[in-house]
Structures are given as C-alpha cells and as structure tokens.
Amino acid sequence: MAALDVLAHLLVLNGKWQRAMPLYRALVALDPRNLRWRQALAYTLLRLGRSDEALAQLDWCLAQRDEVPSEQFVLLRARVLWDLARKKEAMEFLAHPERAAGSSW
C-alpha cells in the first residue's frame, strides 16, 4: 500500500489528477477508515471538477472525527463548498470548524 500511496502522491504533485484518482480510490477501498487517503481523494476530485464527490468524501471524514479538523482539512472543505457555490456555508465552516467535530454538516 505504501508504494501505491507514493505513486498517487507523485502523480498529484505532477498534476496528473486523472491518473491519481483510481489509485486513491483503490487505497480507500483497501482501508476505508484512512482519513488521509480520503482527503487526498477529495483533493484529486476537486481538481477534476467533481466537487460534489469531493464533498461526500470530506463529509465522511468529518463524521469520523471527534476533534477539531486540521487547518488543511478546513481549507480544503471550504474550497470545495465555495466551488459548489455554497459560499455562506464555506465561510461559516472557516470561521467555526470546531462546531463540525463529530457531526455531519
């Protein structure tokens, strides 16, 4: 799995979103509870213009957390919401990410 993770990451670094996506999907299938891989999949989906799918991945991650999400997670989710024209929700999430810990927004 580590080699697959490295390969997917390298593809993302080189802007090969379409090629990285199936690798991240495979990693998530192998370990569905790995939040880092789901977040990477969400980022890849966002870059491919599939923001609704990205948000579904991020919301799944959010529901699994008991603590305040990381800054990286907050920025990614806000960006996805903004991309979906849900600007008010994006700004609210940026302002108060602690309200989302352990809940589904």
pTM value is 0.91
What the block records as the tokens of 101 is 């810990």
SS3 content of the chain, % helix, strand, coil (to 5): 75, 0, 25
Residue 105: the pLDDT is 44
CATH number of the domain residue 82 falls in: 1.25.40.10
In-domain check, residue 105 = no
**Backbone Cα Rg of the chain:** 13
Q: Region 59-85: what's the mean pLDDT? A: 94
* Predicted confidence band of residue 102 (pLDDT cuts 50, 70, 90): low
Read off the pLDDT of residues 19-58 as tens digits, 9 standing for 90 and up: 999 999 999 999 999 999 999 999 999 999 999 999 999 9
Sign of the torsion formed by the C-alpha atoms of 67, 29, 93 and 72: positive
Domain count, the chain: 1
What the block records as the tokens of 8 is 């997917």
Sign of the torsion formed by the C-alpha atoms of 13, 18, 23 and 29: positive
Domain that holds residue 60: 2-100
What the block records as the tokens of 102 is 């352990």
